[in-house]
Amino acid sequence: MEKKNFIENIVRFLNEAGIKTEIERVQKIYTFYLELMKWNKKINLTAITDPEEFVEKHVKDSAYLLKILKGKKIKLMDIGSGAGFPGIIVKILNPDIHLVSVESVLKKCNFQKYIARKLALEGFICINANIFALKNIDDINALVTRAAFNVNELIDLIAGIDIRNDGRIFLFLTDAGDIKKIKQGNFKNKKLYKDKILRYKINNKDCRIIASYKIKVLQQQ
């Protein structure tokens, strides 16, 4: 896919999805793709190398988060972010979001830091750590993960992370039954309230779900 077609494909999708952004930001996504492919030849960062598949499974999937990620002064923690999905795509399309990316694989974390410098992304840090060993990041008010955690791991994860009282959680899920299981989980000093559910398709066939929850921090007994 040529640069022109790559960019036009993303712009067309963003317009159809009602996501507003500037063309310069879409061009940064193209640069992101080129750099990812260069690094991928030396170290394994992603199995998705075809440009059309990259747009469908990485760009579109990540960008849909912006449909429900609303509000000012968002400090978003992307957990298990890999080569930067969904966090860096979201950050490119909305530079006002402060992004904290947590990735346990050092080479993937190094790539994220490199691409952030390459694209001049301000308000971004990448932490090379296992999320289950990371208990507190100041002022985080939104969590997101697109990684393959099972439901019990997600519940433990949410229970162990300190987050402000007005926080929100965004989970990419494929099983609608997980939505109810997560809401009913034991979160110690937190209670989750289902906020919004966004269902959409990529490749015009694969059903995806983003489940959004509001957090209420309970008073300690």
Predicted local confidence at residue 221, as pLDDT = 47
Domain spans, the chain: 3-217
Predicted local confidence at residue 10, as pLDDT = 95
Predicted local confidence at residue 136, as pLDDT = 64
> pTM score, two decimals?
0.92
Query: Under 8 Å CB-to-CB from 21, ≥6 apart: which residues?
Result: 14, 93, 94
Q: Are strands 168-173 and 124-127 parallel, antiparallel or unpaired?
A: unpaired
Q: What angle do CA 156, 150, 83 make, to 5 degrees?
A: 95
Classify 150 as helix, strand or coil: coil
Grouped pLDDT means (10 residues each) for the chain, 221 residues: 90 91 95 97 93 92 91 88 95 96 96 98 94 76 85 87 80 86 87 91 84 84 47
Predicted local confidence at residue 202, as pLDDT = 82
Q: Report d(CA 49, CA 4) in Å as an integer.
A: 18
Determine whether domain 3-217 maps to CATH 3.40.50.150: yes
